[in-house]
Amino acid sequence: MTATYHVKTFGCQMNVYDSERIGELLETEGYAAAGIDSADVVVLNTCHIREKAAEKVYSDIGRLRARPAVPRIVIAGCVAQAEGAEIIHRAPAVDVVVGPNAYHRLPALLRAGGKAMVDTDMPAVSKFEALPPRRAISGASAFLTVQEGCDKFCTFCVVPYTRGGEVSRPSVALIAEAAALIAAGAVELTLLGQNVNAYRDGDVTLAGLIRAIAALPGLARLRYLTSHPRDMGDDLIAVHRDVAQLMPYLHLPVQSGSDRLLRAMNRAHTRDSYLRTLDKLRIARPDVALSGDFIVGFPGETDADFAATVSIVREVGYAAAYSFKYSPRPGTPAAGMADHVPGPVKDARLAELQATIAGSALAFNRASVGKRCDILLDRAGRRQGQLIGKSPWLQSVFVVSPGASIGDMITVDLIDAQPNSLEGAPVPLTDPIRAAA
């Protein structure tokens, strides 16, 4: 009988990409995909960025242990890297712990068949060279990891410890992988990196890589994330002006609107330098939509610091943004700082910031009503016949378009707006304006 596997992903898009590659590896070994309740091998691809994300893994291990036929349990990702053998002490049901830079060795670890195996090496030879070629993708949008790791050491963040230093993949390999994804049906690619705009292979920067990938025939859309404000160079900004396939959207986390806190966070940008970068970007691409990440309740955050964060959200007019309560992470400098902000204060600040962000997103979406654009359909809606697609500005657009299916790009008029989505009306090919275009 064929052995089966299931990969459950926690955290960011980079983990989504890694999970796809782990699935490909296991399929090359003869495993078939199955549900989490029946698979013989279950891989939990974990996230360590906040305490809550890390703790979820242990409740999942408990549920897997309670299954009538307990599967082989693999812990991959950043919790695996950060906690290593500790995981097996705490949860002896775990068979294998494999770090984000060592998962290409997972088939060998499974073949060895033992218990309590830990591989959290950061090997010199990149895992990417050991992975099988890309196979069929689901949908028409695919992720492509181009850069991993981080040298920035923001004082709150575990990434430099769990993912190691900044490493860029060779541009030649990336262009080949992009072409393989397009051949497998991708019309949209999102280039990923913990600091994607720090990408550099010899004299090829992210700007050069985007230009090269955009030149591949068959690619309609390109995106990239996550960027650091410090690495937002003029060459990358120019690409937003020059490359039609690059969508008018940028995720550029600022974390706080207060210079005092940005210094304490070791962010290497100020409120003003961040805003000036956005000004340049808007000159290059006037319709660009912006999103960001924010942390509330960083140690020592005062009411005035928090007010500066709320005011930068209003000033920028984000189309979307992610906000988090500061979570102390073991081994990071901020965890040992004085003046930790009490939980209820963090809760109140998060609620106020999220209401401000929702207001900003609604204003952005309302301003989109009346526009005509293409959407790439990526999932079914809840109502009969309803599909959901992404606009160029990464908004979710609900549409009923008989004959269309997931993976299609269709043209819509945006006719109504909510904080998290829009409604679109399909534009028939016979529409006089469209036919004339």
Question: Minimum CB separation from ligand SAM for residue 265, in Å?
Answer: 10
Residues 353, 310 contacting (CB under 8 angstroms): yes
Q: Assess 316 for contact with ligand SAM (CB under 6 A).
A: no
Interface size with ligand SAM, residues (CB under 6 A) = 18
**DSSP label at 341?**
P
Q: Binds 12, which of ligand SAM, ligand SF4, none (CB < 5 to 8 A, cut-off by type)?
A: ligand SAM
Residues 212, 218 contacting (CB under 8 angstroms): no
Binding positions for ligand SAM, 30-59, rule CB under 6 A: 49-50
Contacts of 226 (CB under 8 A, 6+ apart): 12, 193, 194, 195, 196, 251, 253, 293
Per-residue binding letters, 253-272, with ligand SAM (x by CB under 6 A): x-x-----------------
Per CB under 6 A, residues contacting ligand SF4 are: 150, 152-154, 157, 159-160, 194-195, 228
Question: Minimum CB separation from ligand SAM for residue 395, in Å?
Answer: 21
Q: Assess 159 for contact with ligand SAM (CB under 6 A).
A: yes
How buried is 375 (Cβ within 10 angstroms: 0-12 exposed, 13-18 middle, 19+ buried)?
Answer: buried
Q: Binds 295, which of ligand SF4, ligand SAM, none (CB < 5 to 8 A, cut-off by type)?
A: ligand SAM
d(CA 223, CA 220): 11
Question: Minimum CB separation from ligand SF4 for residue 46, in Å?
Answer: 16
Q: Binds 327, which of ligand SAM, ligand SF4, none (CB < 5 to 8 A, cut-off by type)?
A: ligand SAM
Q: Binds 160, which of ligand SAM, ligand SF4, none (CB < 5 to 8 A, cut-off by type)?
A: ligand SF4
d(CA 107, CA 290): 41
Looking at beta carbons only, is 84 or 160 nearer to ligand SF4?
A: 160
> Given candidates 39, 214, 250, 295, which one binds ligand SAM under the rule CB under 6 A?
295
Closest CA to 201 of 242, 232, 166: 166
Looking at beta carbons only, is 152 or 282 nearer to ligand SF4?
A: 152
Own/partner pairs, 174-180, CB within 8 angstroms, 24+ separation: 174/144, 174/146, 174/209, 174/213, 175/209, 175/212, 175/213, 175/216, 177/134, 177/144, 178/144, 178/213, 178/216, 178/219, 179/216, 180/133, 180/134
Q: Binds 213, which of ligand SF4, ligand SAM, none (CB < 5 to 8 A, cut-off by type)?
A: none
> Given candidates 145, 162, 205, 327, which one binds ligand SAM under the rule CB under 6 A?
327
Binding positions for ligand SAM, 181-220, rule CB under 6 A: 194-195
How would DSSP label each residue in 49-108? SSHHHHHHHHHHHHHHHTSSSPPEEEEEHHHHHHHTTHHHHH-TTEEEEE-TTTGGGHHH
Q: What type of residue sits at position 219?
A: L
Q: Binds 280, which of ligand SF4, ligand SAM, none (CB < 5 to 8 A, cut-off by type)?
A: none
> Given candidates 10, 274, 324, 393, which one binds ligand SAM under the rule CB under 6 A?
324
The backbone region for 394, taken as left when phi is positive above 0, alpha when psi lies in -120 to 50, beta otherwise, is left
Looking at beta carbons only, is 152 or 372 nearer to ligand SAM?
A: 152
d(CA 171, CA 20): 21
d(CA 18, CA 7): 10
> Given candidates 9, 45, 226, 368, which one binds ligand SAM under the rule CB under 6 A?
226
Looking at beta carbons only, is 158 or 399 nearer to ligand SF4?
A: 158
Interhelix angle 303-316/343-368, nearest 10 degrees: 10
Looking at beta carbons only, is 195 or 245 nearer to ligand SAM?
A: 195
Q: Which residue has the tokens 């600091």?
A: 195
Q: Binds 271, which of ligand SAM, ligand SF4, none (CB < 5 to 8 A, cut-off by type)?
A: none
Q: Binds 100, which of ligand SAM, ligand SF4, none (CB < 5 to 8 A, cut-off by type)?
A: none
